Structure 1
Amino acid sequence: MTEHLPGAAGQSMSAEIAAQPEVLAASALRHSEIAEVARVVSARRPRFALLAARGSSDHAATYAKYLIEVLLQLPAGLVSPSATTLYGARPDLSDVLVISVSQSGGSPDLVEVTEVARGQGALTVAVTNTPDSPLNAVAELAVDIGAGPEVAVAATKTYTATLLSLYLLIDAVRGGKAEAVRDIGALAASALDDTEEQVAESVRRLRFVERVLTTGRGYSSASASEAALKLAETSYLAARAYSGADLLHGPVAAVDEETAVLAVTSKGNGGAAMVDVVKAVRERGADVLAVGSAAGEMDASSRLMLPDSSEEVAPILEILPLQRLALGLALARGGDPDNPRGLRKVTKTR
């Protein structure tokens, strides 16, 4: 993809997308550091896990929920921060693992949720890109995702570095040695470099679309949600994300030839479950862009093929060309994704 000149719209987002192979390769080398945190978690033997997050970090938390349920065989759920901050809920969290995910570590609601959870007996772990953040200060344990400063408002390298850090943590809790991400830097480079022309063509194809639906199953449902957010915040598109299963339970009725569908389909159980979903939306006339290592198996209008990987780490790769798609569409539609209207880098909520 063409590099943007200094001062050009989208230059920060473009640079941060391109930096991800290097960031991910470096993060994978921090396995032993994250394994120290994992050893404490393993020793405490939590009964179940809760995850607290907002925005892009909430999608990373959804990914972690699947990792915990599948790899650790523990029940896991997503926290509703408002239950604590607005309604004063104080549940007994003895022997519960609470992982709070925030790139900035500065959102007051997540800080309060984490502090309350620790006071209620939970083992609390902060996963952030800011080691000296308020969130780290109130959590018992902390994982630094190590993405470095991120300037663009839209999270790119911090998102994928968060996914990788969560994978390293949860894999280490089960006694894994991070074999599945040993070559993650090279895989990420391939995911970006090998899809460059196809992303540019997808930008031309989708430039004037006004309604986008993103969908995936299993681990890839996090990628579908994050893709919808990126399109909404950079291109101001009316983008909605649905699990492939939920899509067939009703929303598919709204799909027609005016709808663009981004289907995230990597090899594995989740991708196999998407075959019928993609077929259903194609039958309704939708323009379907399939993204992932299983894209070639889908009845799609166009494809962004990605390298094979373990299904549980595929979301780290799936989002990369979709970030570039969001960047390209924003620029093609006359916007500046580095300065989306009404948004700031750090959003503080309670």
Structure 2
Amino acid sequence: MHQEAAEAAEAVARLLMANRAAVRSLAGELRAQPPRAVVTCARGSSDHAATFAKYLIETSAGVLTSSAAMSVSSVYEARQDLDGVLFLAISQSGRSPDLLASVRAARDAGARVVAMVNDETAPLAELAHTTLPLHAGPERSVAATKSFITALAAIAQLVAAWTEDAELEAALDALPEQLSQAWSLDWPEVVANLLEAQSLYVLGRGVGFAVAQEAALKFKETCGLHAEGFSAAEVLHGPMALVERGFPLLVFTQDDPTRDSVIALADQLRQRGAEVMLAATDAPGALPAVSAHPTLQPILQIQSFYKAVNALSVARGLDPDNPPHLRKVTETV
């Protein structure tokens, strides 16, 4: 896991270069024939990438984006009207039976299928109208790292081209070097505060909610920690009841319109006696974070997090590469 996460900068540089022409072509087609909606299809870490896609597409392209409930097609075999819909399937392996069933059903229902997949030989790539390879290279650790980061980068590259966002496109050119900077940062507070912990919350908002979900999953997979990922807004509705003195929280925020409310929440949680670890730029006492385009800051923060969570797993006497009861390709039907 440590070795593969360290390769993320190189993988993202490879992806941005290799996919540039295909992304520009697809983006032109999306502008010429705008989809009436976007449906994402993914599981696990890839589904967290889909959360990132939802926020970025809806805020940048203004197109309604929703997550597919795969059982609707794979189990219930219900037919949906997806004519004019962009169906975005995201997967590291591209081989999960329920995902493939959902993609087939979407094609039959009139959707245009775009696959973001790491294994270009996978059945998912064969089913898609357009495939954007993730170019992460082999990923042997059960816990996905660089393939998640390349999925986020692929989404940002596509949306930047689709919406002709020159600022984001320019920012993406700097992302590989910034990922290297993010990997060099240390978050020792994560190990110190969570070495004996049993549970925690992970919070984020907007495009940062995706990395909160991802971090919570990694705590479960690699550290045996019961972690729940919440929107920093949603945590106020019920989950706050469990936050008492000493309760740990990892909070992500980026420099966009959500920042002030997230930092205010972090301050509120500290006043209640919670153990708050805040990942942010230019915030007193925060975990160090690389300054970048706000859309890309969550990608950089999850890169720093991967280094920290790997260290925590080892410190807790676990093997981050081989979580119990899990394997690389989950064959949900």
Q: Same fold (TM over 0.5)?
A: yes
1:116-158: CA deviation from partner (whole Å, max 9, x where unpaired): 1111111111110011111111111111010100111100100
Question: 1:107, CA displacement in angstroms?
Answer: 0.7
Contact 1:219 1:270 in 2 (8 A): no
Does residue 1:234 correspond to 2:222, yes or no? Answer: yes
1:86 to 71, 75, 93: 75
Once the two structures are superposed, residues 271-326 of structure 1 have per-residue CA deviations (whole angstroms, 9 ceiling, x without a partner) of 222022212221221111111325x15xxxx5222121122222211101211121
Query: What SS is found at the alignment partner of 1:348?
Result: coil
Q: In the TM superposition, what whole-angstrom CA distance separates every residue of 1:189-245 from its partner, at most 9, and x where no partner exists?
A: 11121x22xx23431232111111100110000010000000100001010011011
- Which residue is 1:189 aligned to? 180
Q: What amino acid is aligned across from residue 171 of structure 1 in structure 2? A: A
Q: Confirm or deny: 8 A CA contact 1:62 1:222 kept in the other structure.
A: yes
Return the letter of the residue paired with 2:172.
V
Alignment-mate amino acid for residue 162 of structure 1 = A
What is the 5 A alignment of 1:124-139? Answer: 124-139=113-128
- CA shift for structure 1 position 171: 1.4
202-211 or 52-61, which deviates more: 202-211
Deviates more, 1:117-126 or 1:249-258: 249-258
- Report if the CA contact (8 A) 1:252-1:281 is conserved: no
Report the AA paired with residue 158 of structure 1: S
Residue 52 of structure 2 corresponds to 63
Instruction: Give the counterpart letter for 1:281 in structure 2.
Output: L
- Report the Cα distance in structure 2 between the residues aligned to 1:42 and 1:333, rounded to whole angstroms: 50
CA separation in 2, counterparts of 1:122 and 1:240? Answer: 33
> Counterpart of 1:23 in structure 2: which amino acid?
A
Aligned to 1:339: 322
Is 1:215 the counterpart of 2:203? The answer is yes
Partner of 2:265: 277
**Structure 1 unaligned blocks of 5 or more:** 1-12
1:288 is paired with a residue of what secondary structure? strand
More off after superposition, 149-158 vs 257-266: 257-266
> Aligned to 2:23, what secondary structure does the other structure show?
helix
Q: Is structure 2 residue 61 aligned with structure 1 residue 72?
A: yes
8 A Cα contact 1:107 1:349, kept in partner? yes
* More displaced stretch, 306-315 vs 129-138: 306-315
- Work out the CA distance in 1 between the residues paired with 2:146 and 2:12: 8
Superposed CA deviations along residues 27-80 of structure 1, whole A, max 9, x for unmatched, are 222323322232333333211111011000000000001111011011111111
How many residue pairs get matched? 330
CA distance, structure 2, for counterparts of residue 291 and residue 208 of structure 1? 21
- The range that moved more, 108-117 or 270-279, is 270-279
Contact 1:234 1:340 in 2 (8 A): yes
Residues 1:251 and 2:234 are matched in the alignment: no
Q: Paired residue for 1:147?
A: 136
Q: Is the 8 A contact 2:28 2:162 kept in 1?
A: yes
Matched residue of 1:274: which SS? helix
Aligned counterpart, 2:97? 108
Name the CA distance, whole Å, in 1 between partners of 2:190 and 2:96. 35
Deviation at 1:257, TM superposition (A): 2.1
CA contact (8 A) 2:290 2:301 kept: no
- Which of 21, 29, 34 in structure 2 is aligned with 1:45? 34
Instruction: Identify unmatched segments of 5+ residues in structure 2.
Output: none
Tell me if the contact between 1:211 and 1:258 (Cα under 8 Å) persists in the aligned partners. no
Distance 1:287 1:310 in 2: 28
Alignment of 1:293-332 (within 5 A): 293=281, 296=283, 302-332=285-315
Q: What TM-score do the two structures reach when normalised by structure 1?
A: 0.91
Relative to the length of structure 2, the TM-score reads: 0.95
AA in 2 matched with 1:180: A
Q: Is the contact made by 1:98 and 1:124 (CA closer than 8 Å) also made in structure 2?
A: yes
CA separation in 1, counterparts of 2:143 and 2:29? 33
Q: Secondary structure at the match of 1:311?
A: coil
The whole-number CA distance in structure 2 between the counterparts of 1:147 and 1:36 is: 22
Query: For the residues of structure 1 that align with 2:210 and 2:82, how far apart are their CA atoms?
Result: 26
Deviations, residues 248-280 of structure 1 (Å, cap 9, x unaligned): 112111011231100001211122220222122
- Retained in 2: the 8 A contact 1:103–1:130? yes
Contact 1:37 1:143 in 2 (8 A): no
Cα distance between partner residues in 1 of 2:299 and 2:17? 16
Deviates more, 1:29-38 or 1:242-251: 29-38
DSSP 3-state at the match of 1:312: coil
Letter in 2 for 1:118: R
Amino acid at match of 2:263: V
